[in-house]
Amino acid sequence: MITKNQIKYIQSLGQKKSRDEENCFIAETPKLVSELLTASNCSILQLYALKEWIGEHANAKDQAEVIEVSAVELEKISQLTTPNRVLAVIKKIEWKNAPVVKGEISLALDTIQDPGNMGTIIRVADWFGVKTMFCSADCVDVYNPKVVQASMGSISRVRVEYMDILSLLKENNDIRMYAAVLNGRDITEMEKVDEGIIVIGNESKGVNEEILKLANVQITIPGKGKAESLNAAVATGIILSHLL
Amino acid sequence: MITKNQIKYIQSLGQKKSRDEENCFIAETPKLVSELLTASNCSILQLYALKEWIGEHANAKDQAEVIEVSAVELEKISQLTTPNRVLAVIKKIEWKNAPVVKGEISLALDTIQDPGNMGTIIRVADWFGVKTMFCSADCVDVYNPKVVQASMGSISRVRVEYMDILSLLKENNDIRMYAAVLNGRDITEMEKVDEGIIVIGNESKGVNEEILKLANVQITIPGKGKAESLNAAVATGIILSHLL
């Protein structure tokens, strides 16, 4: 049973403003919730779940308040087209130490606004062991429900920091900075690296001019077809697979 | 001005059954429509557009019937959250010759059901110059409006053939077949190739067992992070960038 106020509260977490005020976000589906339940930096506050899910996860109540809901109630609070048994309200992730740039490969995202792309980029970063993503303020919110779902649990392992990318790059001008352009060095012929910042630009506008000036390594993914551009998440995956 | 019957007709093209019956599909936004207008294998039947778009595309009427619509009317026929000036009804693409397997790199898609993924894979294939994608019958329809939009015009250059993938692979057992698995050969250390079929499996289930038995090259994208899997479109991009 869920109260009208709870429904309103959970629905409000679909909006960034409410997530920021409440310092919470939501995650759904048994697979994702199970993964976040085991993440040491995820503090789950409430679990709204069908009886069936609760029966299969008897220990969940040790970690969070568990509220049984009907399928109809779940549909009301879910952000998915097809709600799937459980919805968790989770405290925004807290990271222990300051983000590190030196000795690491990190990503800098410039104006990535599609939530599916952002979530997939987080998942790709996680696959390749990238620990930090610096995002310009106009990137989509990492706690947007669509980003959370597309990241498939990787948000608990990849730190996403919103900041002025340009300042970050200026402050770290001793670190190699890679940016994808149309006529740069062939990514497939480059040496592996273990330190650097890889800038991923907005799909339609590419990497911001000011940022491009700072990039000391301009790279290109060679293609012999006629497609105008690559999806940002695909480009990130290709670049990381060649550089790491 | 658009009639009620036209509205019904266009809305019906959101469904595969109607697209198959009518042998048509829809594409939207000025960018995509302009690209398809110049594609030699795309026969555009009608263009439903705002006055503004028609004014800017005076020649469009030489290629298709142009019907002026209001913003409200466009909203009724559009499949987009934010309709954008023009919607085209297009005859399904006709390809001149039979698809070729020998001497080419082609993709075989096994149960790719997410339209965004399918569209992005078509775009990735186009980027790398892959001409043919063989798709199992349970893959999402290439003319699904979300696939068309995500492909960004690449559907006019990459041929998508639905068929029994298993039979195709059995019939072409003299051609090298690559399939991604968890413990295969490191893709980053492989030689470039110019002939072969690359199998892309369903994200949650991977490549079908029967198909896997036929794969004479099992490949892996090495990752040192903890993400369980890569998005199918990202994986396709990474594999193609290393093999081609």
Q: What is the pLDDT of residue A54?
A: 97
Last residue of a domain, one of B91, B115, B140: B91
User: In the predicted model, is pLDDT for residue B191 greater than 80?
Assistant: yes
Clarify whether residues B116 and B62 are in a common domain. no
Domain membership flag for residue B80: yes
In this complex, do B126 and A226 lie within 8 Å of one another by their Cβ atoms? yes
Domain membership flag for residue A70: yes
How confident is the model over B161-177, as a mean pLDDT?
93
How confident is the model over A27-55, as a mean pLDDT?
96
Alpha carbon distance B240, A151 (integer Å): 23
Q: What is the pLDDT of residue B1?
A: 82
**How long, in residues, is chain A?**
244
Contact B241, A188 (CB under 8 A): yes
Contact A105, A243 (CB under 8 A): yes
Q: What is the pLDDT of residue B125?
A: 97
Q: Which residues of A touch B146 (CB under 8 A)?
A: none
Domain membership flag for residue B100: no
Distance to chain A for B125, nearest Cα, Å:
8
Summarised one tens digit per residue, pLDDT across range A162-218 is 999 999 999 998 999 999 887 899 999 999 999 999 999 987 888 889 999 998 899
Alpha carbon distance A128, B224 (integer Å): 5
Clarify whether residues A80 and A120 are in a common domain. no
Question: Which residue from A185, A149, A192, A118 is spatially nearest to A28, judged by alpha carbons?
Answer: A149
Q: What is the pLDDT of residue A80?
A: 96
How confident is the model over B201-219, as a mean pLDDT?
88
DSSP characters for A98-109? Answer: ----TTSEEEEE
Domain that holds residue B48: 4-91
DSSP characters for A22-72? Answer: HTEEEEESHHHHHHHHT-TT--EEEEEE-HHHHHH-GGGGGTSEEEE--HH
Last residue of a domain, one of A91, A114, A145: A91
Residue of B nearest to A150 (CA): B231
For an interface test with A, which of B34, B241, B243 has the most A Cβ atoms less than 10 Å from its Cβ? Answer: B241
Domain membership flag for residue A99: no
Distance to chain B for A29, nearest Cα, Å:
14
Clarify whether residues B58 and B142 are in a common domain. no
Clarify whether residues A166 and A235 are in a common domain. yes
Q: Which of A172-176, B9-13, B29-33, B200-204 has the lowest mean pLDDT?
A: B200-204
Domain membership flag for residue A97: no
Q: What is the pLDDT of residue B217?
A: 94
Residue of A nearest to B32 (CA): A228
Per the DSSP assignment, residues forming a β-bridge with A243 are none
Alpha carbon distance B110, A75 (integer Å): 31
User: In the predicted model, is pLDDT for residue A49 greater than 90?
Assistant: yes
Alpha carbon distance A216, A173 (integer Å): 9
Interface of B with A (CB under 8 A): 116, 120, 123-130, 152-154, 157, 187-188, 221, 223-231, 233-238, 241-242, 244
Clarify whether residues A41 and A123 are in a common domain. no
Q: What is the pLDDT of residue A196?
A: 96
Inter-CA distances, A222 with A219, A239, B60, B198, Å: 9, 11, 34, 19
For an interface test with A, which of B229, B238, B239, B240 has the most A Cβ atoms less than 10 Å from its Cβ? Answer: B238
A vs B, Cβ pairs < 8 A, gives: 109
Q: Does residue A81 sit in helix, strand or coil?
A: coil
If one counts every other C-beta atom within 10 angstroms of the C-beta of residue A64, the result is: 17
In CATH, what number is assigned to the domain containing residue A162?
Answer: 3.40.1280.10
Clarify whether residues A151 and A178 are in a common domain. yes
In this complex, do B237 and A230 lie within 8 Å of one another by their Cβ atoms? yes
Clarify whether residues A77 and A21 are in a common domain. yes
Clarify whether residues A87 and A140 are in a common domain. no
pLDDT mean across residues, chain B: 94
Q: Does residue A173 sit in helix, strand or coil?
A: coil
User: In the predicted model, is pLDDT for residue B174 greater than 80?
Assistant: yes
Q: What is the pLDDT of residue B168?
A: 93
Clarify whether residues B112 and B208 are in a common domain. yes
In CATH, what number is assigned to the domain containing residue B15?
Answer: 3.30.1330.30
Summarised one tens digit per residue, pLDDT across range A73-83 is 999 999 999 99
Interface of A with B (CB under 8 A): 116, 120, 123-130, 152-154, 157, 187-188, 221, 223-231, 233-238, 241-242, 244
Clarify whether residues A123 and A66 are in a common domain. no
Last residue of a domain, one of A31, A59, A91: A91
If one counts every other C-beta atom within 10 angstroms of the C-beta of residue B183, the result is: 6
Inter-CA distances, B39 with A136, B42, B93, B134, Å: 37, 5, 10, 22
Domain membership flag for residue A220: yes
How confident is the model over B34-59, as a mean pLDDT?
96
Residue of A nearest to B187 (CA): A241
Q: What is the pLDDT of residue B78?
A: 97
Q: What is the pLDDT of residue A226?
A: 87
Residue type, B218: Q
Q: What is the pLDDT of residue B182?
A: 79
Q: What is the pLDDT of residue A182?
A: 79
Clarify whether residues A11 and A44 are in a common domain. yes
For an interface test with A, which of B31, B127, B151 has the most A Cβ atoms less than 10 Å from its Cβ? Answer: B127
Distance to chain A for B122, nearest Cα, Å:
10
Summarised one tens digit per residue, pLDDT across range B226-240 is 888 899 999 999 999
Structural domains in chain B (count): 2
Q: What is the ipTM of this complex?
A: 0.92
Residue type, B217: V
Domain membership flag for residue A69: yes
In this complex, do B128 and A187 lie within 8 Å of one another by their Cβ atoms? no
Q: Give the rounded distance of the alpha carbon of B66 from its chain centre.
A: 26
Domain membership flag for residue B99: no
Clarify whether residues B21 and B64 are in a common domain. yes
Summarised one tens digit per residue, pLDDT across range B52-77 is 999 999 999 999 999 999 999 999 99
How confident is the model over A116-135, as a mean pLDDT?
96
Distance to chain A for B177, nearest Cα, Å:
21
In this complex, do B233 and A238 lie within 8 Å of one another by their Cβ atoms? no
User: In the predicted model, is pLDDT for residue B81 greater than 80?
Assistant: yes
